[in-house]
Each structure stands twice: as structure tokens, then as C-alpha cells.
């Protein structure tokens, strides 16, 4: 499938709150080699049927159309994106689009040791590794796998193959890893990575979620001040989800306060599942089918669905969830039965 050449850039798309469409998170698989309790608490899921998964060529066509509408940042995610065979080939294809300025990867790190060099050579710009604990026994309890050492090996190799700007993402959970914040920052320093603490979210199958387990931005800062003293917020003009802070020794770190201080007002992100459904919000219950017109080779219909989808976007999912707290209505986001019927409702299908 090829695109008509020399197409003019469609004017930048704005949603109903004047938010542009800039960042696309591409989930390349719904499979994962971990079972993090906050993301995939069960062992088996209703997996996306194999023949519905987009090929690299199909993904690349969609990227090219999204770029016409203003997307300039791509993040490869999953499931575990490094389980998708030959990912460097996709990175090379995406890298051909002049409008795509940034190609990043979020991974659990297990397969980085063997793939980092090929990813770098293919033109991947940045790597984020998710790591929630530095204690092997905790890692095993959280992920139900014994691959902790491989994650550390993966992190260690990132800089060696040439990447800069490594990030480590940690979901901060009360009563689980709230005693490791300082250790994680120190570990980040030792591997030249910026650590970002993510507030625990109630998306998808995070069925163990409760507000009492959320370690808030305020609590994270309070705790870190006890060790590091004054912490300065960095003033940045960015739509990035992380708010960044500076310690007095020059170390920076981030907090992604999705649960207590949602940043929906500036959200320019959307998500594409591995089977070609486009979600306008992490909390969206329904996606827009782009696979159908794509496979019918009706690219004008793909464009039309993107244009009308983003143009009528009203999503402010994390804010809506937060507003429910006032009336004590913040219960389970989606009933388990519904999750079983629609695998795309899961965090691991829509890419986090």
C-alpha cells in the first residue's frame, strides 16, 4: 500500500478545547512478558486476534497520515513492544517521515540487552524503561516473573550503545515502593537516567487500584525534601505529562501526577492499538476503527475518521475521574466482565 506522493500538509487539527494532535502512542502488541499487578493482574487475557494486528506497512501508512495532521512525536509501546519481532524495521520506516521529530520507546527493559544496539542503529531517539523497585523479591511479587537482573542489564546497556536521555518510569504505590523513592533517584544518577514517578492510575484492569494506594505528587515531594532539602520546580513550556524538578546537586527528576493533578487541559496525545483502533484518551471507552478503511485501501476515509474524531474530541478522562471523588463515586473504572469482552479496554492494549 502506498500513499499518493507529494500530499500537502492538512492544516493542524484542533479538538473542541483547542488542543492540537501532536503525539501518537503506538501499541505494537498486546502481549507482555511481565504481569505487573497494576496493569495485567491476570495471567491470561482475551488477546487481540493475530490476523487483526496491523503489519508494519499498515502502521507506517497510518503514521504518515497522522503526520499530515500534525503528529510529530511517536512513542512505541505495548504490551511489551520488544516482543514484536523486528521492531527496528518499523523504526526505520517511521524515521523516513520528515515530519516525525521524535521516536521514543517505553519498555520493561527485559529484552533491551539483546536489542538496544539494533534499535539505536535503526534510528530510535529515546528510551524509557519502566522499573518500580530495586528489590528483586519485590520485583517478583509485583511482576510475577524473575527477570529483575535482565532489566538492570538492559538499563546498563542503553548508554553504551549510544542513547542519551534515558528515563526510568516508576509507578509510585503506597505500601509497596514508597520507601524506595530516594534509592531510585540515586540509582538513576548512577546510570545517567532521569527518574519519573507516575501516580498510580485506575485505568483498565488495575483492579487492585484504590485512592488510598496513590502516592501523590505532594507526598512524593515531601518525602524527597526530607533527604534532599529544597526542591525547585523547573519552569517549562511543554505539553509533556511529567512535571520536572531540580535537586540542589543538579539532579533532575519528574512526577506524572495523572491521578491527583490531571493535565488534560494541554493533552495532545492519542493512542493506536496494535489492531488499528484509535483512542483519543487513556480513559476512552471506545476507539475509532482505522483498520477497516485502511484494509479497504480507502485512505480518504481514514483521514476523514481522524479529522472528525479529533475535531469533536471532548475527552478529559483523568479530570472526569477525579471529579467523581467529590461525590465518592470513584469506583471501579470498568467492570471485569466488560474488560473480558473488549481487550482494548486494558492498559496493556492501549499502551499506557
Q: Name the binding residues for [4Fe-4S] cluster.
A: 32, 36, 39, 264, 267, 281
Site for ligand SF4 contains 209 (CB under 6 A): no
To ligand SF4, the closest distance from the beta carbon of 132 in angstroms equals: 9
If binding means CB under 6 A, how many residues of this protein chain bind ligand SAM? 21
Q: Which of 22, 73, 150, 269 binds ligand SF4 (CB under 6 A)?
A: 269
All cell numbers assigned to 49: 486476534
The residue among 73 and 316 lying less far from ligand SF4, judged by its C-beta, is: 316
Among 87, 181, 193, 201, the residue binding ligand SAM under the rule CB under 6 A is 201
C-alpha cell at 313: 474530541
For ligand SAM, the closer of residues 62 and 171 by Cβ is: 171
- Site membership for ligand SAM, residue 139 (CB under 6 A): no
Q: Which stretch binds ligand SAM (CB under 6 A): 102-110, 174-182, 246-254, 308-316?
A: 102-110
Contact characters 307-336, ligand SAM, x per CB under 6 A: ------------------------------
User: In terms of DSSP bridges, do strands 243-247 and 252-256 run parallel, antiparallel, or are they unpaired?
Assistant: antiparallel
**How far apart, in whole angstroms, are the C-alpha atoms of residue 128 and residue 240?**
14
C-alpha cell at 207: 483492579
Binding site residue list for S-adenosyl-L-methionine: 38, 79, 130, 201
Touching ligand SF4, residues 273-332 (CB under 6 A):
281-283, 315-318
Nearer Cβ to ligand SAM (107/147): 107
Residue 264 interacts with which of ligand SF4, ligand SAM, none, CB < 5 to 8 Å by class: ligand SF4
How many angstroms separate the CA atoms of 127 and 129, rounded?
Answer: 6
Output 193 or 201, the one with its CB closest to ligand SAM.
201
- Interaction mask 36-75, ligand SF4, x per CB under 6 A: x--xx-----------------------------------
Of 42, 31, 47, 342, nearest in space to 207 by CA: 42
Amino acid at each position: 500500500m502506498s500513499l499518493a506522493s507529494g500530499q500537502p500538509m492538512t492544516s493542524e487539527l484542533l479538538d473542541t478545547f483547542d488542543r492540537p494532535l501532536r503525539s501518537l502512542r503506538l501499541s505494537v502488541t498486546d502481549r507482555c512478558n511481565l504481569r505487573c499487578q497494576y496493569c495485567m493482574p491476570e495471567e491470561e487475557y482475551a488477546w487481540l486476534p493475530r490476523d487483526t494486528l496491523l503489519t508494519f506497512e499498515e502502521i507506517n501508512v497510518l503514521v504518515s497520515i497522522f503526520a499530515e495532521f500534525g503528529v510529530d512525536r511517536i512513542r512505541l509501546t505495548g504490551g511489551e513492544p520488544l516482543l514484536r519481532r523486528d521492531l527496528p524495521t518499523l523504526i526505520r520506516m517511521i524515521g523516513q517521515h520528515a515530519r516525525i521529530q521524535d521516536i521514543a520507546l517505553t519498555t520493561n527493559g527485559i529484552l533491551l540487552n539483546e536489542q538496544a544496539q539494533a534499535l539505536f542503529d535503526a534510528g530510535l531517539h529515546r528510551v524509557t524503561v519502566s522499573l518500580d523497585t530495586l528489590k528483586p523479591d519485590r520485583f517478583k511479587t509485583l511482576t510475577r516473573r524473575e527477570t529483575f537482573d535482565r532489566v538492570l542489564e538492559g538499563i546498563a546497556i542503553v548508554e553504551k550503545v549510544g542513547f542519551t536521555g534515558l528515563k526510568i518510569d516508576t509507578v509510585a504505590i503506597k505500601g509497596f515502593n514508597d520507601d524506595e523513592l530516594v534509592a531510585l533517584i540515586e540509582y538513576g544518577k548512577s546510570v545517567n537516567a532521569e527518574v519519573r514517578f507516575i501516580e498510580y492510575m485506575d485505568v483498565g484492569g488495575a483492579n487492585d487500584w484504590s485512592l488510598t494506594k496513590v502516592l501523590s505528587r505532594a507526598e512524593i515531594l515531601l518525602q524527597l525534601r526530607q533527604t534532599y532539602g529544597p526542591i525547585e520546580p523547573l519552569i517549562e513550556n511543554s505539553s509533556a505529562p511529567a512535571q520536572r524538578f531540580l535537586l540542589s546537586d543538579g539532579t533532575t527528576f519528574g512526577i506524572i501526577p495523572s491521578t491527583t493533578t490531571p493535565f488534560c487541559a494541554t493533552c495532545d496525545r492519542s493512542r493506536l492499538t496494535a489492531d488499528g483502533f484509535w483512542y483519543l484518551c487513556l480513559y476512552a471507552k471506545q476507539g475509532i476503527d482505522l483498520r477497516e478503511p485502511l484494509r479497504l485501501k480507502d485512505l480518504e476515509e481514514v483521514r476523514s475518521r481522524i479529522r472528525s474524531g479529533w475535531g469533536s474530541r471532548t475527552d478529559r478522562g483523568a479530570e472526569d475521574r477525579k471529579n467523581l471523588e467529590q461525590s465518592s463515586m470513584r469506583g471501579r473504572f470498568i467492570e471485569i466482565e466488560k474488560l473480558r469482552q473488549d481487550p482494548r479496554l486494558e492498559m496493556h492494549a492501549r499502551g499506557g
